[in-house]
Chain A
Amino acid sequence: MRKKTIRVLSGLMCLVLVATLLGACTSTTEEPEAKAPLKIGMSTPSTGVAAEKGAPMGHANLDCIKYVNEELGGIDGHKIEVLWLDNGYDASKSVTIIKRFVNEDCLLFTAASSGQMTAMMGIANENELSGFAAFSSPNLTQPPQHIYGQTPDYGDDWAAFAKYYMDNIWKGSGKPKMALHLLDNSTGAGAKMAAEAGAEELGIELVAIKEHSATTTSEIASLTTLLKEEIDVLYISSTPAPTAIVIKSAVELGMYPGITIGCGHAGFTKALVDLAGADIVDGVYGVYPTVGWEDDVPAMAKMTEYCQEYHPGDYGNMDYIISWAQSLIAVEILRLAVENAGADNLTPQVVEEQGLKKLKNFDVGGLHGPVTYVPGDNRLSKSVRVFQIQDGVLEPITGWVEAPFINYE
């Protein structure tokens, strides 16, 4: 018994000795010291009422960072560390998330929707932590502080669509009658602000403004009241699920086809076709700030490769494109900041001054219009395109349309 114990103890000691020696050998091997990662925060509504948009956006954000870290080696050897959190399209959660981004010394942050960025911007502005939203509304960028819009806002969408409508679709005499159907948050309010400011100048009569919630299941009642107005065009600024409901209700009432329907970019995506059905939404117009999946632009091949490898279900969804572009912009901001200030000196304020504000004609691999910081205008990209749904596919029908700065203050 005693001998057995001694044997076991000896064996254990040998094991410890071997492990120690191996550890020592490993530690003496000279490996290049890894450079400190650059930490950023990212938040998407991957669950909740806008999950049909948020989930692919979150996938794209992380897939792109994976590509930058694994294939490009990060930024000057510094890997990008992402603190990604799902906000569930919940305003209170968004506040705890932005507080965590601040507490964990994130250098920069991104958000998907204007609604969630609206909830985050109070804390972000107070702490001078710059961030940008893929989808933005004027309240985020006016007056300009530390929050930026990746692409033109919902007001710009309306302006671009209204101008296209007047130039190319409206053939009647007098002023066309337009009604707005808006999500009851900043997504809808942005379009409302632009329409109220610009309808008269464009020669459009704004006859009604209706609102719906993100959880709406039917808009028959609200559209019935529009029947007597005999509208020519209905503009919807909302997320895909409610947009699909509004269009389906319009079809049920026999309003559409018969009128023109235009959509802002928050609701105009492949998810709209999937939710409403290709037949229902055929011919609907929409504004979107990125290229389509069939466009041959430099970043398309790599993005498609990652999408099909890791999230094939997102292929064809333009929300994936905008968020891939968002990550590319975040990487470019960090690259400029490292180049101008040095990786060791980065703080959120330095990243904003030496990175974000140095953006000039960054082409985002052609995925959307060039990105430039212009003092006083916190919209980073200023171009949109008009699309039309044809046989279930979102086909671009214009080139890039510049969205002029509209001052709402």
Chain B
Amino acid sequence: MDLPAGTRNYTYAQDMAIFRTKTHWTLLIGLLVVLCTAPLWWGNWLSVANLIGITIIAATGLNILTGYCGQLSIGHAGFIAVGAYTSAILTERFGLPFPVGLISAGVVAGLVGMFFGMPSLRVKGFYLAIATIAAQFIIVWVIKQWTDVTGGHMGMSVSAPALGGLVLKSDSSQFYLIGGIAVLSIFFAKNLARTRVGRAFVAIRDNDLAAEVMGISLFRYKLIAFFIGCFFAGIAGSLFAHWARFISDEFFPLTDSILYIGMIIIGGLGTTTGPIFGAIFIGLIKHSLTHYLVPTLESSAIALPAGFASGLAPMVFGLIIILFLILEPRGLAHRWQLFKAAYRLWPFSY
């Protein structure tokens, strides 16, 4: 980790600590204050924040799988669907408590992910991408056809999450649940990258042949990566189902799987902060256009051609992503690193 000049570490624990300087702690406390008081002043953005929080959890999982371990997956929305339906079925049809549904969602999605990750031993890159696309289609197909259990196209209603006797119906109460799990996910991902398993992932990503020669079991670690990545997707799916109160196959389209890849690329592949930046960036653009830009243009006095404002939203969305990939291909996390470096060196530029 880059640290300001004069910051010394005297113990191994100090060297490994995530928050070490006064600035780190000040920023952390400031962020926690903002997040804890968010329900008081975020208004309508709270439901968007919840959705972004769920997206961060799922994107963090994909980042472990793709960013750290190098296993390209274009079936992430399918794995999220597995988690959503597992949790919904266990809580609604079997009456199990929400925490059981939440954990089971992660485990089942992780196991399904491992199953679809098996081809990763033989294929990689674009070929693995095709294999994971198959997961997306197969999972959604099963949801559509297994109508007795999943409700098929008609979907199924899901109740609000409950912890003991506390029912989290409002967006404000769910914000703490989703935010808490998102923070735990990020913390886990940050630490995972520094463990033996995380370093094995990076070795496999950088050169799988060299990793194998060093004694890393490719099959084992690739499957672990699929399990962890899809476990996160399952947790996100469970939270999504109980947040939306209704799920159907339409909530988990292939385009979302592609968008998740876009998020971790825009945020910064293989970095802990990448999925956070990517999910916030995409989420804010998507919902700002939906909730503010288009309605404002439609109701403005300016004589716009019919349908112009509505058509503008996807154009602006696409344009921003294209410009971003051209101007900052290494992701927002890299931009954040540059900012921190500039801050550390200020007022000297070298």
A: residues with CB less than 8 A from B are: 46-48, 51, 55, 58-59, 62, 83-88, 91-93, 95-97, 99-100, 103-104, 115, 118-119, 121-123, 125-126, 137, 139, 184-186, 188-189, 211, 310-314
Smallest Cβ-Cβ distance to B286: which chain A residue: A93
B292-327 with Cβ < 8 A to chain A: 294-295, 298-299, 306-307, 310-311, 313-314
Pairwise interchain contact B155-A118, C-beta atoms closer than 8 A: yes
Pairwise interchain contact B160-A126, C-beta atoms closer than 8 A: yes
Which residue of the partner chain, among B171, B251, B286, contacts A99 with CB atoms under 8 Å? B171
What are 25 contact pairs spanning A and B, CB under 8 A?
Answer: A47-B310, A47-B313, A51-B310, A62-B299, A84-B298, A85-B290, A86-B294, A86-B310, A92-B244, A92-B256, A93-B286, A95-B244, A96-B291, A99-B44, A103-B44, A118-B154, A119-B246, A119-B248, A119-B250, A119-B251, A121-B246, A139-B154, A139-B155, A185-B249, A310-B306
Q: A62-B298, A122-B158, A184-B144 are in contact. Are A86 and B250 (CB under 8 A)?
A: no
Give me the 4 closest cross-chain CB pairs, A-B, nearest first. Answer: A122-B245, A122-B246, A46-B310, A189-B153
Smallest Cβ-Cβ distance to A43: which chain B residue: B290
Bound: A186/B248 CA distance, A: 10
B29-79 with Cβ < 8 A to chain A: 43-44, 47-48, 51
With an 8 A cutoff between CB atoms, is B287 at the interface? yes
Bound: A298/B13 CA distance, A: 81
Write the nearest CB–CB distance from B77 to chain A, whole angstroms: 10
With an 8 A cutoff between CB atoms, is B152 at the interface? yes
Bound: A314/B43 CA distance, A: 36
Residues of A within 8 A of B251 (CB): 91-92, 119
Residues of B within 8 A of A46 (CB): 294, 307, 310
Bound: A76/B299 CA distance, A: 23
Pairwise interchain contact A99-B154, C-beta atoms closer than 8 A: no
Smallest Cβ-Cβ distance to B312: which chain A residue: A47
With an 8 A cutoff between CB atoms, is B185 at the interface? no
Pairwise interchain contact B171-A314, C-beta atoms closer than 8 A: no
Bound: A137/B152 CA distance, A: 14
With an 8 A cutoff between CB atoms, is B199 at the interface? no
Interface of A is mostly: helix
Bound: A86/B290 CA distance, A: 6
Pairwise interchain contact A47-B250, C-beta atoms closer than 8 A: no
Residues of B within 8 A of A91 (CB): 244, 248, 250-251
Write the nearest CB–CB distance from A125 to chain B, whole angstroms: 8
Bound: A122/B243 CA distance, A: 10
B: residues with CB less than 8 A from A are: 43-44, 47-48, 51, 144, 152-155, 157-158, 160, 169, 171, 243-246, 248-251, 256, 286-287, 290-291, 294-295, 298-299, 306-307, 310-311, 313-314
Write the nearest CB–CB distance from A168 to chain B, whole angstroms: 31
Interface of B is mostly: helix
Which residue of the partner chain, among A88, A104, A123, contacts B290 with CB atoms under 8 Å? A88
Bound: A96/B310 CA distance, A: 18
Interface centre among B153, B245, B299 (most CB of A within 10 A): B153
Bound: A137/B151 CA distance, A: 14
Bound: A58/B160 CA distance, A: 31
Pairwise interchain contact A115-B155, C-beta atoms closer than 8 A: no
Pairwise interchain contact B250-A58, C-beta atoms closer than 8 A: no
Pairwise interchain contact A96-B47, C-beta atoms closer than 8 A: yes
Bound: A349/B251 CA distance, A: 29
Bound: A183/B47 CA distance, A: 30
Which residue of the partner chain, among A58, A188, A314, contacts B153 with CB atoms under 8 Å? A188
Pairwise interchain contact A92-B51, C-beta atoms closer than 8 A: yes
Smallest Cβ-Cβ distance to A55: which chain B residue: B307
Residues of B within 8 A of A188 (CB): 153
Write the nearest CB–CB distance from B248 to chain A, whole angstroms: 6
Pairwise interchain contact B246-A115, C-beta atoms closer than 8 A: no
Write the nearest CB–CB distance from A313 to chain B, whole angstroms: 5
Pairwise interchain contact B311-A47, C-beta atoms closer than 8 A: yes
Smallest Cβ-Cβ distance to A119: which chain B residue: B246
Bound: A96/B47 CA distance, A: 6
Interface centre among A92, A100, A123, A125 (most CB of B within 10 A): A92
Residues of A within 8 A of B245 (CB): 122-123, 126
Smallest Cβ-Cβ distance to B169: which chain A residue: A126
Residues of B within 8 A of A104 (CB): 44
Pairwise interchain contact A84-B295, C-beta atoms closer than 8 A: yes
Pairwise interchain contact A185-B250, C-beta atoms closer than 8 A: yes
Bound: A90/B312 CA distance, A: 16
Pairwise interchain contact A96-B306, C-beta atoms closer than 8 A: no
Bound: A96/B248 CA distance, A: 16
Write the nearest CB–CB distance from A286 to chain B, whole angstroms: 21
Q: A47-B313, A88-B290, A126-B245 are in contact. Are A185 and B153 (CB under 8 A)?
A: yes
Pairwise interchain contact A103-B154, C-beta atoms closer than 8 A: no
Smallest Cβ-Cβ distance to B315: which chain A residue: A47
Write the nearest CB–CB distance from B147 to chain A, whole angstroms: 9
Pairwise interchain contact A99-B313, C-beta atoms closer than 8 A: no
Q: A85-B291, A119-B251, A122-B245 are in contact. Are A96 and B154 (CB under 8 A)?
A: no
Pairwise interchain contact A99-B47, C-beta atoms closer than 8 A: yes
Pairwise interchain contact B144-A314, C-beta atoms closer than 8 A: no
Q: A55-B310, A96-B48, A103-B47 are in contact. Are A122 and B157 (CB under 8 A)?
A: yes
Smallest Cβ-Cβ distance to B244: which chain A residue: A95
Write the nearest CB–CB distance from A409 to chain B, whole angstroms: 12
Smallest Cβ-Cβ distance to A189: which chain B residue: B153
Bound: A92/B54 CA distance, A: 12
Pairwise interchain contact A119-B244, C-beta atoms closer than 8 A: yes
Pairwise interchain contact A93-B154, C-beta atoms closer than 8 A: no
Write the nearest CB–CB distance from A270 to chain B, whole angstroms: 15
Residues of A within 8 A of B157 (CB): 122, 125
